[in-house]
Each structure stands twice: as C-alpha cells, then as structure tokens.
Amino acid sequence: MHKKIFFGLLILYIVLPLQAQYVVKGKIVDINKEEVPFSTIQLLGTDSVLVKGCISDSLGIFTFPNVQSGKYIVRISNVGYSTLYKDIQVSDSDNTLASFVLDGDDVLLDEVIIRGNSLIRKKDHVVVIPDKIQKKHAYSGYDLLYNLMIPGLNVNANKGVVKTARGEATLYINGVKAELREIQNLRPKDIEKVEYYDIPSGIYIGDIASINYVTKTYQLGGYVSLDGWQNIGYLSGNYNLGAKLDRNKWSYTFFGGYGMNKYNGIQENKTEKMNISDSYIHRTLVNQNALLRDNQQYAQFKVNYKAEKYNIYALAGLVGKSTPENNQSNLLHYENNTYEDVLSLSSTTEKNLKPSVCVDGIFYPTSRQRIHINITGNYAHNTYSRIYTENKLKSFTHADEDLYSFRALGVYNMTWKNSSLGVSFLHDHHISSSLYEGDYRSWQHLWRGESLLNLSYMQHLFDNKITLMINPGFSLLNYKLHTQPKCQDWTFRTNSWIRYQLHSNHQFSLGFAMGNFQPDISYVNTADQTIDFLRIQRGNPNLANPTIQEYFFTYDATLNPVNLQINSWHTRIKNNVSVDYYSEGEKLISSYLSNTTYDKWKLELIASCRISDKLRINSTLKYEKFKVAGGQGLSTDNFMASLQANYFIKSFTLSAWSKRHWIAGSWQS
C-alpha cells in the first residue's frame, strides 16, 4: 500500500510540472514602434532569481519555452536604451505578450565596449553602434563614419564628402539635415549611434542615401573647439573655430574658418589632334611651370529651438574664396611643322562671395504625423579674369557673374503600424546673369525653375519579411535664356523598390529610379570664350532635357565577423550631354550636344571585417562598363580593387589604403 502511494506521488510530481509548462513569446520595439534587435531578455521570479535568459532576433522577437504558469518579472536591456522591468502573468496556455517598448537612454556609450557585431539591420535601414575604440580615434563626425567602415560608404573625412555607389549621401543630426561644418564639429563621444538608409524612405524620401547621427541632447552646457592642420612642401592649411551653447530648448552654434593652398611645379603633358578647315594639326603640350595660390573663408551662425511638438532653426552663412594666382607656362610643340613651337602663358584670377540664409521647421501635429518645411535662399557674386599669351599674341577674358537661387520644400508624412504615406513638393528657382568682356563681349541671362511633386507609399508585408516602396511623381522644368525661346519639359519621376528579408542576417533589394537633370548656364550660354588661339569655348542653348533611368539590385549579409554587400546597377541617360567639336573659319569650337545615350553597368562586392578590437579592414572589388551610343561612340571596361585597413594602438591610428585600376589593358594606382 505504501509503495503504491509512493509511486503515485512520484508520477504526479513528474507529470504535473510537464503539463504546466508553456511557451512565452514577445517582441521589443522602441518609442517609434521600430523593432529593437539583439536585446538581452531575462525572465526573473518574483524574488528576482533568474529563471531563463535569451537574446531577441533581428526583428526584436524572443521566445521562452517550457515556462510554468505564474507571476514573473521580465528584464530587458540593450545598448542605447533604458533597462526595462515589467511584471507579467503566464497563464495556463502559450502566451504572446504585448510589445515591450524601450526608451532611449543617455548612458555614455563610449564607456561600453561592444564585442559583438555592431551593425544591426532593421526593416528599412542599418543601425551602427560605434564602440569605444572607434570613438577614441575619431575627431569629427566624418572621422567616426570612416572608422565604422559601413559597406557601400566611401567617406572622405578631409573634404567632408560621403558617397555611395549611386551618388552622394545626405547627412542628418537627430533627423534634422546638417551642414558640412556641423558634422565636422560633432564630438564623437556625443554620438550614440548612426542610422544608414541605403534606400531612403519616410522622412528621407528624395535622398540618394541618408545618414542620421543620433546624439546625446543637453539641457545646459556647451563647448568651444579649435582645430587646424598645415602641410609643408605642398603648402596647404586649414584652421577652424566651432562653438555651441545649449540652454534648455535653445541651442546656438557658430562656425568659422580659413583655408589656403599654394603649390607649383605640376607637370602635365598631353597630345592633341585637330582638324580645322581641312588642316590637320598635331601638337604636344609640355607643362614648364605652374603656380596656384588660393584661400577660403567661411562663417556660419545657427539658432535652434526644440519643443515637444516642433523643431525650428534659422541659419545664416557667408563663404568667400579668392584665387589671386593661377599661372601656367606650357611649350606647344607642333609635330607636322604647321606652326612654330611657341611658349604659352596663362594667368587666371578668381573671386567668389556667397551669403546664404535658411529657415527650417519640423512639426508633429500627432504622434503619427510629421510636417517638414524648408526655405533656403542664396546669392553668389563671382568674378573671373584670364590673360593668355602665345609669343606676341595676347588674349583677355573677364566675366562678372551674379547668381540668385531660392528653394522651397514641403513634406507631409503619415505613419501606421505597417505602412506610411507621404507627399512632398519642391520648387527650385535660379537666376544667372553674366557679363563677358575682353576678346568677345556678351551678356547672358538665364532663369530656370523646376517644380517637383512626389507621392510615396511604403508597406511592410508578411511579418515584415517584405517591404514595398512606391514613389511616383513628376517634375515641370521651365527655363529661358535671353534672346532664346522658353523651354518646358515634363518628366515622370520615381524611386520605387522592394526589399525581401530572407533571414535575420540576409536580405536583398530590387529597385527602379527615374529623373532628369537641370541645364546650367555654362552649358546653354551663347558666349564665346578663348581657350587658346586655335580653340573657342561656346555653349549650346538647344540642348534637350536629359533623363536618367536606374535599375539596381543589392544583397546584404551579416556573417560574423564579416559584413558583406553585393551591388549591381544599370544606369541609362537619354539625351546625354557630351562635348562636341566643329570648325568655324580657322577656329575649333568646343561646345555641347545632347544626341547620345549613355549606359553604365556596375557590379560591386564590398566586405568589411572586424578582425580584432584593434584591427578592422574593408575591401572592394568592382567592375564597370561604360558605353555611349550616338556621336562618335565610346565603350570602356574598368576593374577596380581597393583595400583599407585601420589599426588602433593607444592614442594613434595606423591607416593603410591601396587602390588599383585596370584601365586600357593595364593596372594603374
């Protein structure tokens, strides 16, 4: 009898717990309802004793199997977010919990060493969390972006240029478009993470690519920064002053600087073959001497007011540039003795002054709505003078130019759980007035305006496995050159794509984009400008509207510790503007035509690898094919291989960089 009772109790002891174990599922999002991947989740008992632990996947989803019913505490943590504690009740069935919302944290991320992969793929962008070493060896926002080695980004920290294979990226700070000086003066220790939109959506619609720096915000405080560098030999220098003051909802920034260049001794040799009025000319140009001296100055002041429902800033800037010396001395050697060998001298001076103002406002009527308004105005005054001599012959050209530009932008966005809708309107207006004197006198006046209307709709399907972006629109371009008839062109525009997430670490995108170019006064003017005593530069007011079509495919993969990207593009430009030459009397006219079609195919493999905390490498293999149909026709094939390596040691960074091109049958550095 006692044995039966013992075995019965033993069976109940074993079976009942098994029957009372259930699956607990949940999802982690941020305050914008975006998934927060790779969070650490701990299931604690009511006495705070650890029961289970796991890591959420790339979509923020986590699962606890074999959990007994009862009361628990869930603890969720992730770098850059406040740690969340929440009480839950596990019922007598499988449980799918409501989403856990993590709030941003002002914790100093530079004190955290991230040893996993810092590149996190979300449904429409990539989040990169810089580690302590990357921040320590960076001195600006550009330096840090360079150290991150994001596949597909080419960062020139010295010039402040960030490019992708499709073109230049637009930079933002906390969702607000930023100027070059603002990125240069970003303190790396204030940067919490970087968001990279290789195919922009939502508030970034219209960009080729978008990069958003998410930084700490301060209620009170500021800084003053001074930096500069000077080259010797190839004389070049740059000196900058930056200051920022935060006071509650107000912030004030000022940037100013001076730069200079001076170098000489550049040797440039080239061969020219010309047929002018049935006379064949073959000459070689040998550079004897050269001297260039220029300087640049800039100043910028910005006031920003940020409240809960809106963010407004006003900006005023002034940029000046002067080139008091740009001299070249060349020996012109004629192969067939048509002309005597002569020594040519060219002396050019330039001055540029450009003031600008900008007012920008972002408004949030509700948590789902966003309105962005931007008004920008610029004025530029440029002067250019050139004296050119060949023996006793002398040519003089002087140009005085005034440029006015105005831009108005309005964007409205509405977001839902799995979709968003946006509409944008942009108008660009430019007026150019140029007076040419010297060998040929001419007054050129061009006004042009382009209005663009775009509608964008994004939808996430099948549990965010598929993201679809439809972005139809059109542009109306009007322009008129003095004495010429008005030109008008309508163009369909789009940047539509579909993205499929094969796995949490694998996804591919397929897209199509279409747009057009605007004419510039340098292409459509009718003024004659002397190049030398055989050649004249002249524009063409009858150019057609160039349109561009682009088809692209991108594959992204995260294979720890390697981040991999494969890109393929086909770009076609119809009515492509190309150089045209024709003879007129005893002169060769260099002008432009728009009667060709330009095709470009590109295949690119990019890989970045974090070998250790101190060693990071980035490599690129690229094949390009160019073809121009019409005119004289042209077709080339190029290969390129590059390797970049950064080694961090104490307070120093050792950088090695190599690039090789295969052009015209040979490798070139």
Express each pLDDT in 449-505 by its tens digit: 999 999 999 998 988 889 999 999 999 999 999 988 999 999 999 989 999 988 767
Instruction: Grade residue 265 by pLDDT with cuts at 50, 70 and 90.
Output: low
C-alpha distances out from residue 272 to 175, 284, 285, 345, Å: 51, 6, 8, 18
Instruction: Grade residue 7 by pLDDT with cuts at 50, 70 and 90.
Output: very low
Domain positions in the chain: 20-102, 109-215
State the residue for tokens 């360079």: 146
| CATH entry, 20-102, from 3.20.20.70, 2.60.40.10, 1.10.287.70, 3.40.50.300 | 2.60.40.10
- What is the Cα–Cα distance from 621 to 635, expressed in whole angstroms? 21
Q: Taking 60 as the threshold, does the pLDDT of residue 393 lie above it? A: yes
Among 237-241, 273-277, 305-309, 582-586, the range scoring the smallest mean pLDDT is: 273-277
Instruction: Grade residue 663 by pLDDT with cuts at 50, 70 and 90.
Output: low
Q: Is the pTM of this model over 0.75?
A: yes
Percent of the chain with pLDDT over 90: 36
CB 508 within 8 A of CB 499: yes
Q: Taking 90 as the threshold, does the pLDDT of residue 106 lie above it? A: no
Cis previous bond, 561, omega within 30: yes
HEC assignment per residue over 141-202? HHHHHHHHCCCCCEEECCCCEEEECCEECEEEECCEECCHHHHHCCCHHHEEEEEEECCCCH
Task: Please give the pLDDT value at position 113.
Answer: 37
Task: Please give the pLDDT value at position 134.
Answer: 87
Any residues with CB less than 8 A from the CB of 61 and at least 6 apart, and which? Answer: 25, 26, 27, 28, 35
Alpha helices in 42-179 (DSSP H): 132-136, 141-148
Task: Please give the pLDDT value at position 9.
Answer: 44
Q: Taking 50 as the threshold, does the pLDDT of residue 107 lie above it? A: no
State pLDDT tens for residues 441-451.
999 999 999 99
CB 32 within 8 A of CB 122: no
CATH topology of domain 109-215: Ferric Hydroxamate Uptake Protein; Chain A, domain 1 (2.170.130)
Kindly calculate the radius of gyration of the chain based on its CA atoms and give it in whole angstroms: 31
Instruction: Grade residue 254 by pLDDT with cuts at 50, 70 and 90.
Output: very high
State pLDDT tens for residues 333-352.
887 666 678 888 999 999 99
Q: Is 133 left (phi over 0), alpha (psi -120 to 50) or beta?
A: alpha
Among 42-56, 232-246, 359-373, the range scoring the smallest mean pLDDT is: 42-56
Q: Taking 50 as the threshold, does the pLDDT of residue 182 lie above it? A: yes
State pLDDT tens for residues 571-609.
999 999 888 888 888 889 999 999 899 999 999 999 988
